[in-house]
Amino acid sequence: MNRLVLIGNGFDIAHGLKTSYADFINWYWDKKGMQLLKEHTNELSDELCSIKLIDSHFNWNEFWSIYFIHNERPKVWNGNLLVNFIKKNKDIGLLKYTDNFFEQINKQIETKKWVDIEREYYSQLTIVKHSFEIHRPVNYRSLNIQLEYLSNKLIEYLREETKWDVSLIEDIKEKIYKPVKRREVVVSGKNNSEDFFELKNFMILNFNYTNTPEMYLADNSTVNYIHGKLDDPQSVIFGYGDELDENYKRLKEQNDSECMRHVKSIRYQEHDNYRRMLEFIESAPFQVVIMGHSCGNSDRTLLNTIFEHRNCVSIKPYYYQIDDKTDNYSELTININRNFNDPKLMRDRVVCKDYCEPLVSKK
């Protein structure tokens, strides 16, 4: 038996990396605020938004200096202070989003404290699709330009986030390579009396762009960067992967390649990572271990291929322990369920909570 280890963003976060999309967007605004001050300009724009000082007699650096003559200077300084000031004082500064895409990303962070950029991108694609149906102008290319700009900025941000918490290595490594217990597997038509199943080969399927899993390699394991690597920006796949959704089927019917530009299953054909993953799951029965992956719809096509594969005998999620009494096991299994077409397979293959544990135990 083999093991396929799914690594998601929660894995990097557990290692102390600030790799959530909310942290990334916070970094973007910090950079934007500092750029306004350093360039001594009263207006600045990029593919996502524009910021303008309404009083054209000053630039932002001059205005900010004058403002703090009459107001107390903050103890901690960053560009977000200026951006938040602009957002709250619309009579002084004008923040204009290119369109609804980046505005909705920021609204999600403000209201929920988190956002799934890839999911929001797909939502905007389907909104554009509905606009097309009622004969309004469609601009898939504009949406793609914004996503590509965000992707490049995300790579820039992640390259700065490289300080790992290495204290977790031994504990997580033990979880990656521990044997499969019989109670974790449903073996159809067989009475297997073995307490453990021998594991021969391991593939760490890394959905992140960082190289955190490299710390956990062994002689019989490989890392598959299914969505690309930071040191090869051209390999990075950033988009959406839910071909099971009804809206996706309608998008496919449009005579416009731009609406399919960032569909993950199409991008997978540019490299052999997907093919190597298929070869691995075709080679022998395997257990899926989930570490820090939410199993959300943005990877639904790929996850469905894995979870419903005839060789998949078990799906074991390592959940997030929120506090002493709460965790996200139920939320995680709900998301896993969305990746199945056959509910019976889901019930047979997902390991029950009694035999699961947190990825990182609360100290």
* Domain boundaries of the chain, sorted by first residue: 2-19+161-228+271-355, 30-109
pLDDT at residue 193 above 90?
A: no
129: pLDDT confidence band, cut at 50, 70 and 90? low
Identify the pLDDT of residue 74: 74
Q: Report how far residue 175's alpha carbon sits from residue 291's, in angstroms, rounded to the nearest whole number.
A: 10
pLDDT mean over 142-150: 97
Cα separation, 345 vs 281, in Å, equals: 17
- Number of other CB atoms surrounding residue 211 within 10 Å: 15
Q: How many helices (H) and strands (E) does the chain have?
A: 14, 10
Query: Once rounded to an integer, what is the mean pLDDT over residues 108-134?
Result: 83
Instruction: Kindly write down the DSSP assignment for every residue of 59-102, as one continuous string.
Output: -HHHHHHHHTTSSPPPSS--HHHHHHHHHH-TTTEEEEESSHHH
* Pairing of β 202-206 and β 221-225: parallel
What proportion of the chain, given as a percentage, has pLDDT over 70?
94
* Predicted local distance difference test score (pLDDT) of residue 187: 57
pLDDT confidence of residue 189: 43
Q: What is the widest separation between alpha-carbon atoms in the chain?
A: 83
Q: What does the pLDDT average to over 125-148?
A: 74
Whole-angstrom distance, CA of residue 160 vs CA of residue 153: 11
Q: Assess contact for 157 and 27: CB atoms under 8 A.
A: yes
pLDDT at 164 over 60: yes
The gap between the terminal CA atoms of the chain, to the nearest Å, is 33
* Tens digit of each residue's pLDDT (9 = 90 or more) over 96-107: 999 999 999 999
Confidence of residue 167 (pLDDT cuts 50, 70, 90): confident
pLDDT one-digit tens code per residue, 2-34: 999 999 999 999 999 999 999 999 999 999 999
Flag whether the pTM goes above 0.85.
Answer: yes
Query: Using an 8 Å Cβ cutoff, are 47 and 146 in contact?
Result: yes
DSSP strand pairing (196-197 vs 202-206): unpaired
β-strands 43-45, 49-53 pairing: antiparallel
Res 161: pLDDT? 80
Average pLDDT over residues 341-348: 94
Token pair of 139, please?
Answer: 């601009």
